[in-house]
């Protein structure tokens, strides 16, 4: 039986939401958005600042703006929707959030892309090898493509920006 958010994944339940972002992907995004905070990482954080695991980053009591104006997010893929909802709310407080997520493929959970605070989506050609949470090595077998979704301050005044980039180009330019 397929599980919500994971479909045909063979990864053990305890590891599914802990995969680390490949450093070249983070470095590429950080070069454009200058992140102040890692929104959903604990042990796998890439920013110096991160939201303490004792605080609920999705809570109405925790404003992302307390950590700066721009945040990176590789959310737990089992539960992406609340991160988009919070991103829309935080954008109204002039916070830009950048989310590395699986490609939409017509899933209803991506309806947030219709919101005026969603400014763009970039599809990454080529599957990413996320890093195993304990061994810090790239793991093959990612079943889905990845994309980057940006929510930001101010209402979108033109159509949603859609772009494409090749994974290998990112790794050539930003790896080490």
Q: Would residue 32 count as lying in a domain?
A: yes
Q: Would residue 120 count as lying in a domain?
A: yes
- Tokens found for residue 10: 């063979």
Instruction: Give me the mean pLDDT over the 102-128 stretch.
Output: 90
Q: Would residue 152 count as lying in a domain?
A: yes
Q: Would residue 140 count as lying in a domain?
A: yes
Q: How far apart are CA 126 and CA 81, in angstroms?
A: 24
In total, how many domains does the chain have?
A: 1
CA atoms within 13 A on the CB side of 103: 16
Write down the residue that tokens 């609340």 correspond to: 82
Q: Would residue 7 count as lying in a domain?
A: no
Beta bridge partners of 138: 131
- Report residue 1's pLDDT band, with 50, 70 and 90 as the boundaries: very low
Residue 142, pLDDT score: 65
The domain in which residue 94 lies consists of 15-174
Is 81 in a helix, a strand, or coil?
helix
Ramachandran region of residue 23, left (φ > 0), alpha (ψ -120 to 50) or beta?
alpha
Least confident of 19-28, 46-55, 75-84: 46-55
Q: Would residue 4 count as lying in a domain?
A: no
Q: Would residue 29 count as lying in a domain?
A: yes
Q: Would residue 36 count as lying in a domain?
A: yes
Q: How far apart are CA 174 and CA 13, in angstroms?
A: 31
Residue 59, pLDDT score: 85
Residue 132, pLDDT score: 63
Instruction: Give me the mean pLDDT over the 104-123 stretch.
Output: 90
Residue 40, pLDDT score: 86
CATH of the domain at 103: 3.40.50
């Amino acid at each position: 039986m397929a599980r919500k958010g994971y479909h045909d994944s063979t990864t053990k339940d305890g590891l599914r939401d802990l995969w680390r972002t490949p450093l070249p992907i983070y470095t590429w995004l950080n070069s454009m958005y200058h992140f102040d905070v890692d929104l959903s990482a604990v042990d796998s954080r890439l920013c110096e600042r991160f939201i303490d695991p004792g605080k609920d980053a999705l809570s109405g009591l925790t404003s992302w703006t307390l950590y700066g104006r721009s945040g990176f997010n590789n959310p737990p893929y089992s539960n992406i929707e609340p991160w988009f909802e919070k991103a829309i709310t935080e954008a109204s407080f002039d916070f830009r959030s950048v989310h590395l997520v699986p490609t939409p493929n017509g899933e209803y959970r991506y309806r947030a892309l219709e919101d005026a605070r969603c400014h763009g989506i970039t599809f990454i050609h080529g599957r990413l090898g996320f890093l195993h949470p304990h061994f810090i090595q790239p793991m093959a077998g990612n079943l889905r493509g990845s994309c980057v979704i940006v929510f930001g301050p101010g209402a979108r005044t033109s159509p949603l920006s859609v772009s494409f980039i090749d994974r290998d180009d990112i790794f050539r330019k930003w790896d080490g």
